[in-house]
Structure 1
């Protein structure tokens, strides 16, 4: 910490007793390092008094700072009393007030008069409105903006007055108050202030420092380097160049200090990394090279420009023995935080909608909360029930039936009011802390318990109605802005911090992650209602000044470092452009003192599909296949054709796919819906030759059949009341109607149609794989429909999709492997059905026709299987060979790779 050491060496020369100095710092982080420096120097007197500049300004103001939710609530009460139009409720108010507050604070800190800026904005909007023919439409964007600034000219002055009456102030108001007290304070104070390591000041801060300098009550120590201060093109030195021109710096009082450290030898490496998380993966390798010089890494800092990388960084640094984390762990990345957000979202939905519970809202809460053993059993049973019935929206009655024994069930019920709900969730958090939790979970829950108590206490004095939607806004604000602070040993080991935490600190080894444009600097990403030209006109900070501040932090950090590693994510994804920071580009083009080494880190992993899974047929596998031979279905064989690995998983390992709730009806269940409806209709007509009236139904009768089919699917009727499922229901209705109509037209035209069986089950139909009948399999399955049309027995299989390749052409060249192709699976299935029917005694000697009736092409009727060449026994040769391949111990189950086509 060379800069801090230099400051206190100077101060000790001036006075061996430091107790008379008041040290003013940009933040509190450097204090612990200052104490170590003084200990190393053998200092044994009283310590100086430490201030942050914000605390000093607040002390001079004599005001009480009001911020956060407390300020929002107070401001809304003032806003409500003014009866401005249009009038927002609290949830609408907090959508725009935080941005207005930040703009207002900026105005109060940098402009001479906030009323002048507000009037300017209103006048500008009036001019724009005058230039356009607005008419009488109140919802036009220009008129809305004009009304907004008219309201702000009334609301913000009223808010300022109300805050002053209570001796409260926002951050900007504190600066405005101090503006009028600086001269008297500088004149009367007997304290000596030492300002250390500042770069950019607000107007009040600058006035304070300069006034204290004029009265010889202050010293100022800047840390700059001639590389960026003396070069007017370098934005990093923008503010230091302005400070150096202060009249307070003269022949008597020097500007301290501009050094020449940047040009000293440095090893600078720039890493182009493919992926955001991938940056953390290479940290261990970089640190291994540094441990040779400093085994404890005490002079090394990892600076995260993206706080979302902290969890992955900590995971990558698991082998580091001593680690200090300065930045907080974002609350929004933690499981309990997500559960709380989902809980309030659920209650908002209950408040604004019909009162039903959306299954995914419930699952999101149940999956993220810590559970006792009994609670876990209840949740598992509940999820199984919901998935088996495909329930998307639950009634309160259904929720009580299945979750009433859950220890925190009351959290899901609509509360009497917000205060009672806060009491409930505070008690829940308190009791939850007695469970077996890890440290981060405990801190996460404790943080929320404290925050909910604060919200409850701050809401208590106000009488305006607070809805769950309002509470959700407050909770989301907490979750998105708060962090859990780590406790560690800041003087030892590797330091992990954000960029602002590096102020006044210097490290020999620096590793910066996410050195991307938009992260360093942030660029024009701030939310503001004030246009760029207005900010410039009134000397408010714009993104350009903010870029200069970030540039200073970056170069100041580099100037004392010896080893610099700059990592950036080169992949474009989401909001990330994959563009390296322009500060890296500046170094590459402008830095004449150092050579920069470039390293490209690529993600070398290959897609799984390029290396298919191969399962050898062990003795255990062959034993299961021998069991399988006793119950072989056509779908088993078509499944094997599509992917042998799936066949292995389902038929050998006996695994099942996890049931999932369908928010939109799947293709399979659409087919089942039509299938069940046809079964209900044709089961009711008997086995006699059908008459026209047997198949005459009204639309209402067919709709009732569809509703009965929905019951067979165990689906809720309301599942089909709206959206795509309503469309699917109507498409199914039309498909059923067309099938019935097609059969009725056959009867009307003189054909004789009789239904013989529906969902006909067959089993133990032997099929021999060798000539001496010593090796066999037994077919089983269900035939959707068997009927008789004009004396011909028809075996009909219903399909959701279109018919494919039902014309079979077999000869000596292709007989052996004709069905070794997934595209011929429909024909394969019909051949097996044909074989089975010919081997069932009740159908012996009948003229048999097999075919597909597609729900996608209902009007075509039954599309029959046709043999252009060959006959059934030739087809069974290929089917036999397919079964033998499955049973062959030398042929492993190999995963099939299917290309995804762009449609």
Structure 2
């Protein structure tokens, strides 16, 4: 696009003004926003204009100047209003007030701007609620009764607030509009200024009156940017307001309606992309821009419009290596930066402390320790704290322990419950000051500075009142101050690629427009309008509804693309979570109502899974050295790991890697097993090497609860609070029941006359095993048995399991060789028990020639241990072991075979 076509609407305005005899400096250009000013100045410079510049004003600034009132908004207004409301209803606190006042304030401003009188609307709402209540029992809990009381209070409160504000020469935006009604006639008659209203689409009633009066006094001109496409078609919502303005009597032959053009019908390349995901849209930008750069290497006539501000970071990431010159008009939302997120989590922590000042939840603490700027001296303190959490699985941290572990951290004062929240504001200000003195990035410095400014401002404003402040109210106030704040980027607005929001595009034209998130709910916003006023009330009193707001967004959309030649519309087609995956109806309108052909593309991020290359580890010389060490201390669990996945065996036994311990909010199966296992060991320790009596076992049963507490706090290093609530309380109760049933099983055996003697607990048993292989003649087994006892003189090796006991049957399999039939992870318990039997019979620890080996499952503890059967025999001697030990031998030799690599077991072999 040539220089004269870029921002053609602004060029047309300037040409019109320069062609008139009236000096430009006597004009005031009234604009929807400040953004176009820099472009207007550039156009004047290009046209060699050497006179004094005109005055630039937004329409809000003009109305405020005419009214003579100072606008009050945000926190200042909220606190001022609450002071007034307390005199009407002294029972409501600030926290409750802040829940409804911001929404009511928007409604009140709309009443003042659009209706003839706000009192008429208030009277109507009160009367409407009275009618709904008529004939009903007026109980306090009735919803209609609550609504009636609400509007009854508003009839008193809002007039009182207006009166109090006017006494201070203060006003809300709505009050400024209302005040203008009384001043507009006098102003338009007496002003000597000449006003040029540029690019407006929708005026409020008082703005219309102001513009009309100025036109009547020949002190104003209006320049509209309209197109025949949506002006001539009465169904087209984009032209809703402009179609009304065309018929103003102030527009005539001598003062025509400027301008209606026919640019939308010109040929356009419109491409629509359905993309699977929000961020995925930004990944298409390099592809689109590469096409456009062939025509314009600087992309100065190109705008990327983000309808979702959260897409700014991924958009910048996609553009970082592609664009030399970039101007970002929209700011980066302050609420999305790391310090803002940390502050949000800090307030969440304080709210939890306000509810229950007894213990800290680890999930509230860890994010803060990770994200809050820390002093270098804080690092070892935080590390020690994290180690304690992992070692003791501290989900809930007592106040005492929290003080012991973290009291020396530099920002400890903001992590504890404050004396009062006015003092807490001072602590936050001090913390921000300290953080800014540390080595942090420029963005973090700006982020922290904005919060510091907000805290100081809030503290100063609160000092004027005597409100009782709680943490929730403080959080709402702080959020209000920073939620709409942004960090602006530096850039060159007159060249390069433009990155902006939709409202920043007003009055500007681009040859190439790329728009992201063109979804229903984003464009237009639809019925996402927070209000206490029903649709019919808003409509009947002339206030904007979602329909008028949709029309405003429709105009911005069509106006932006009406002069563009290349239009790229991207929308998220993924239906998940809050995403409806529906393209904007504006896209459908273009497709159905205009003559422009649309090119539709579906960009599916899903792809056919690649054939995964399984990890394969060669047995190098270094690996074989490790295996030589390993074969002298083979545990049954090592072989089971290999059967599950050879890669895990390599990681664990060769590389000695272990997964880090993770905090468990709910006790895992493994730790549940440990809890029962360790408690059994503790309980039976005093019963070793004696024939158990009924009295011994009765006393042991009575000690179960005491033993559980001991194991929890001393062995597992868990906090007792961990087991006092939720599922963990149930797990502890189940553990106690399991222990009782195991002891009861032993007690029942003794009561029936059996002789029971506990020989060892957690006993290490070892034995050599001869492989009859020249390279590896023998290996050495080394394992730990949970319990060894004698029942009626028979030696028993017992292993505790949280899982169910398997079949535990070993017999020849005609479909498999003897050396291979245990080569399956389903035989893991059999492999373990066979090795235990071998060690028991070959270690020399026991004189017995037979042994029983079994699994005692915590799933059904009352059944006692289930015994391994080899060839139909539960009493196993050395001859019985010959068959299963052939398979064990084969497993070991495969592991030691240098020619057989460690190959990862696929997650689902049937798929590969």
Normalising by structure 1, we get a TM-score of 0.96
Give the equivalent residue in structure 1 for 2:288.
286
Shift of 1:157: 2.0
Give the equivalent residue in structure 2 for 1:882.
891
Give the equivalent residue in structure 1 for 2:230.
228
**Structure 1 residues 766 and 373: CA distance shift in structure 2, 3 A:** farther
Give the equivalent residue in structure 2 for 1:481.
484
Tell me, in whole angstroms, the C-alpha distance in 1 between the residues paired with 2:468 and 2:895: 70
Aligned with residue 264 of structure 1, among 266, 270, 288: 266
Contact 2:88 2:153 in 1 (8 A): no
Question: Which 10-residue stretch deviates more, 255-264 or 643-652?
Answer: 643-652
Give the equivalent residue in structure 1 for 2:746.
743
Shift of 1:509: 0.8
Shift of 1:690: 0.5
Contact 1:269 1:598 in 2 (8 A): yes
Tell me, in whole angstroms, the C-alpha distance in 2 between the residues paired with 1:608 and 1:643: 21
Shift of 1:9: 0.6
Give the equivalent residue in structure 1 for 2:179.
177
Tell me, in whole angstroms, the C-alpha distance in 2 between the residues paired with 1:517 and 1:450: 37
Shift of 1:271: 0.9
Give the equivalent residue in structure 2 for 1:314.
316
Tell me, in whole angstroms, the C-alpha distance in 2 between the residues paired with 1:894 and 1:24: 74
Task: Indicate yes or no: 2:39 matched with 1:33.
Answer: yes
Query: What are the superposed Cα offsets for residues 142-168 of structure 1, whole Å, 9 maximum, x if unpaired?
Result: 332232222222222222222122111
Give the equivalent residue in structure 2 for 1:332.
335
Query: What are the superposed Cα offsets for residues 498-534 of structure 1, whole Å, 9 maximum, x if unpaired?
Result: 1111111111111101111111111111211112122
Contact 1:761 1:781 in 2 (8 A): yes
- Helix, strand or coil: the match of 2:575? coil
Give the equivalent residue in structure 2 for 1:598.
600
Tell me, in whole angstroms, the C-alpha distance in 1 between the residues paired with 2:141 and 2:908: 51
Give the equivalent residue in structure 2 for 1:347.
350
Shift of 1:613: 3.8
**Structure 1 residues 93 and 257: CA distance shift in structure 2, 3 A:** same
Give the equivalent residue in structure 1 for 2:585.
582
Tell me, in whole angstroms, the C-alpha distance in 2 between the residues paired with 1:225 and 1:894: 68
- Helix, strand or coil: the match of 2:408? coil
Task: Indicate yes or no: 2:856 matched with 1:853.
Answer: yes
Give the equivalent residue in structure 2 for 1:155.
157
Tell me, in whole angstroms, the C-alpha distance in 2 between the residues paired with 1:193 and 1:542: 30
Aligned with residue 369 of structure 1, among 369, 372, 385: 372
Query: What are the superposed Cα offsets for residues 809-836 of structure 1, whole Å, 9 maximum, x if unpaired?
Result: 3235323332332222222222222222
Give the equivalent residue in structure 2 for 1:688.
690
Tell me, in whole angstroms, the C-alpha distance in 2 between the residues paired with 1:824 and 1:7: 86
Shift of 1:233: 1.4
Give the equivalent residue in structure 1 for 2:877.
none
Shift of 1:563: 0.8
Task: Indicate yes or no: 2:571 matched with 1:568.
Answer: yes
Contact 1:805 1:823 in 2 (8 A): no
Tell me, in whole angstroms, the C-alpha distance in 2 between the residues paired with 1:843 and 1:699: 30
Tell me, in whole angstroms, the C-alpha distance in 2 between the residues paired with 1:612 and 1:578: 36
Aligned with residue 420 of structure 1, among 419, 423, 426: 423
Tell me, in whole angstroms, the C-alpha distance in 2 between the residues paired with 1:679 and 1:626: 34
Normalising by structure 2, we get a TM-score of 0.95
**Structure 1 residues 866 and 462: CA distance shift in structure 2, 3 A:** same
- Helix, strand or coil: the match of 1:683? helix
Question: Which 10-residue stretch deviates more, 480-489 or 863-872?
Answer: 863-872
Aligned with residue 194 of structure 1, among 193, 196, 212: 196
Match runs of 1:463-542 below 5 Å: 463-542=466-545
- Helix, strand or coil: the match of 2:845? helix
Shift of 1:771: 4.1
- Helix, strand or coil: the match of 1:277? helix
Task: Indicate yes or no: 2:568 matched with 1:553.
Answer: no
Which ranges of 4 or more aligned residues in structure 1 deviate by more than 6 Å? none
Contact 1:760 1:786 in 2 (8 A): yes
Give the equivalent residue in structure 2 for 1:107.
111
Tell me, in whole angstroms, the C-alpha distance in 2 between the residues paired with 1:170 and 1:888: 84
**Structure 1 residues 56 and 730: CA distance shift in structure 2, 3 A:** same
**Structure 1 residues 30 and 742: CA distance shift in structure 2, 3 A:** same
Question: Which 10-residue stretch deviates more, 344-353 or 750-759?
Answer: 344-353
Give the equivalent residue in structure 2 for 1:92.
96
Contact 2:94 2:469 in 1 (8 A): yes
Tell me, in whole angstroms, the C-alpha distance in 2 between the residues paired with 1:735 and 1:134: 57
Shift of 1:178: 1.2
Contact 1:303 1:513 in 2 (8 A): yes
**Structure 1 residues 106 and 896: CA distance shift in structure 2, 3 A:** farther
Structure 2 residue runs of 5 or longer lacking an equivalent are 1-6, 874-879
Shift of 1:381: 1.8
Contact 1:811 1:869 in 2 (8 A): no
Contact 1:341 1:475 in 2 (8 A): no
Shift of 1:191: 0.6
Aligned with residue 129 of structure 2, among 125, 130, 144: 125
Tell me, in whole angstroms, the C-alpha distance in 2 between the residues paired with 1:401 and 1:468: 25
Tell me, in whole angstroms, the C-alpha distance in 1 between the residues paired with 2:22 and 2:217: 23
Shift of 1:423: 1.8
Query: What are the superposed Cα offsets for residues 593-612 of structure 1, whole Å, 9 maximum, x if unpaired?
Result: x2211222121556689554
Contact 2:197 2:221 in 1 (8 A): yes
Give the equivalent residue in structure 1 for 2:3.
none
Tell me, in whole angstroms, the C-alpha distance in 1 between the residues paired with 2:295 and 2:163: 60
Shift of 1:896: 3.5
Tell me, in whole angstroms, the C-alpha distance in 1 between the residues paired with 2:609 and 2:393: 33
Tell me, in whole angstroms, the C-alpha distance in 2 between the residues paired with 1:22 and 1:473: 40
* Number of aligned residue pairs: 895
Task: Indicate yes or no: 2:67 matched with 1:61.
Answer: yes
Contact 1:224 1:556 in 2 (8 A): yes
Contact 2:795 2:848 in 1 (8 A): no
**Structure 1 residues 130 and 825: CA distance shift in structure 2, 3 A:** farther
Tell me, in whole angstroms, the C-alpha distance in 2 between the residues paired with 1:792 and 1:703: 31
| CA RMSD of superposed structures (Å) | 2.1
Give the equivalent residue in structure 2 for 1:723.
726
Query: What are the superposed Cα offsets for residues 61-109 of structure 1, whole Å, 9 maximum, x if unpaired?
Result: 111111111111111122222126xx43212221221111111111211
Give the equivalent residue in structure 2 for 1:659.
661
Question: Which 10-residue stretch deviates more, 56-65 or 407-416?
Answer: 407-416
Shift of 1:302: 0.6
- Helix, strand or coil: the match of 1:427? helix
Task: Indicate yes or no: 2:82 matched with 1:76.
Answer: yes
Contact 2:188 2:213 in 1 (8 A): yes
Give the equivalent residue in structure 1 for 2:647.
645
